[in-house]
Amino acid sequence: MASPKQSQESVATFGIRPVERFSGGSSAIKRPREFTHFSYDSEHVFHPDVSSLKYYYPPSLPSDLCAGFSTFQKHDDSTDEHITSLLRSVMLHEQSTRTRTNCDILTWRGMLTKILTTPFDRFSEFEMNATCFQGTIFIEENHAYKVGQRIQQDREARQRGGVSSERQDMMSFWGYKFETLSTIPDVWDKVSRDAIEGRESDIVENKSQYCSVVSTGIGGAKLVLGGEVDAVWDRKPDPRPEDGQEGIQGTRWVELKTAEQPSSDKDMVKFERKLLKFWAQSFLLGVPKIIVGFRNKDGMLVSLEELETQSIPGNVRRVGKRTWDGNICINFTAAFLEFLKSTIRGEGVWRICRRPQSPSIEVFKVENKGHGEILTSEFINWRTKI
């Protein structure tokens, strides 16, 4: 994508602070409803099915999260995948149901997580690309920026003598190892005891995923979000015949997370800040339960805790340190999405930027024509045909 040719006048700014201006009862929220889904297999190939869906089965405790690091099959995320799979999944759904998915904004859940947590994450930084097509704003992460950010963070950590990139790789592995130790590939009664007990020696990989595509709403914005779901609590209900594809509701999804076991007041504050991200991520896709695997500093998994997603903001307010407020996050997001709807209109490509500690999010045009690489020709061709 070409470098920004912006002039100062063309930058639209959305103020973040003071965050109290977004306080009060929360804006209307539409409960997320899955209307389609897809899987990536162990080679990260797209399949329009549930083949990579996993089922939660508690891990044994304690467990060593470091074991198997040398054989980790890590997805190469250096190539830009744009929103290609999400578009394909929506297109296939439209082709099979002969309906068009109407919404104001379509993106990966991760983009909305960044926006939802912005009011209380002073150091967050992001760049996204956006384009408008047939009345919908499509948003992707600016992949080149993310890659540059990682290189810079690595360099800074080395200079400060902070966490080395080797340790960071290991810490990131712990999350995937926890997923491997906590899931099985089918419902409980169809998986053998040997397979359950053998999970400790299973190869850990992060190429396969099950992705849920939901319609939801925040304030006046209708959204379509796609995101990975780690597991299902019991089983995914079959669609009711009268609902056709639309009936896959009320699935008891589970988000798996690891965190360091807090042992001081300072640790509790750190964990509460982490809870903001856990909550935002799960709330957006309608994942009702989060299983936290607590570990020590050496990556030994020592205990489990089940959290109800919807109770997290209330607990932070009532018994926590009040480091964040869920209503402010939701109201901020509702107002920001309205701002995007009025800014990103007509032809071209826009960039949405937040710099660390910046008091605002900036949106400016980087291309006057076309859709950059955000939309695929497969999707555009399909949409111009119907």
Q: Which residues bind Mg ion (CB under 5 A)?
A: 228, 230, 256
> How far apart, in whole angstroms, are the C-alpha atoms of residue 200 and residue 67?
8
56 binds ligand A3P (CB under 6 A): no
172 binds ligand A3P (CB under 6 A): yes
What type of residue sits at position 144?
A
Q: How far is the CB of 134 from ligand A3P (least distance, A)?
A: 31
Q: How far is the CB of 205 from ligand A3P (least distance, A)?
A: 12
Residue 277 binding: pick among ligand A3P, Mg ion, none (C-beta 5-8 Å cut-off by kind): none
Q: How far is the CB of 264 from ligand A3P (least distance, A)?
A: 21
Residue 233: CB partners within 8 Å, gap ≥ 6?
Answer: 56, 252, 253, 254, 289
Closest CA to 129 of 360, 348, 349, 346: 349
Q: How far is the CB of 120 from ligand A3P (least distance, A)?
A: 18
Residue 169: CB partners within 8 Å, gap ≥ 6?
Answer: none
Q: Give the torsion through C-alpha atoms of 80, 357, 366, 88, to 10 deg.
A: 30
Q: Measured at CB, which residue is nearest to ligand A3P?
A: 175
32 binds ligand A3P (CB under 6 A): no
Q: Is the dihedral of CA 197, 202, 204, 207 positive or negative?
A: negative
- The alpha carbon of 14 is separated from its chain's Cα centroid by a whole number of angstroms, namely 22
Stretches 122-130, 138-146, 171-179, 351-359: which one binds ligand A3P (CB under 6 A)? 171-179
At 153, list the tokens.
């963070």
Residue 140 binding: pick among ligand A3P, Mg ion, none (C-beta 5-8 Å cut-off by kind): none
What type of residue sits at position 178?
F
Task: Specify the residue, 96 or 303, whose C-beta has the smaller distance to ligand A3P.
Answer: 303
Number of residues that bind ligand A3P (CB under 6 A): 8
DSSP result, 199-244:
GGGSPPB-S-EEEEEEEEEETTEEEEEEEE--EESS-PPPPPGGGG
Q: How far is the CB of 81 from Mg ion (least distance, A)?
A: 16
55 binds ligand A3P (CB under 6 A): no
Q: How far is the CB of 289 from ligand A3P (least distance, A)?
A: 13
Interaction mask 255-294, ligand A3P, x per CB under 6 A:
--xx------------------------------------
Binding site for ligand A3P (CB under 6 A): 172, 175-176, 178, 228, 230, 257-258
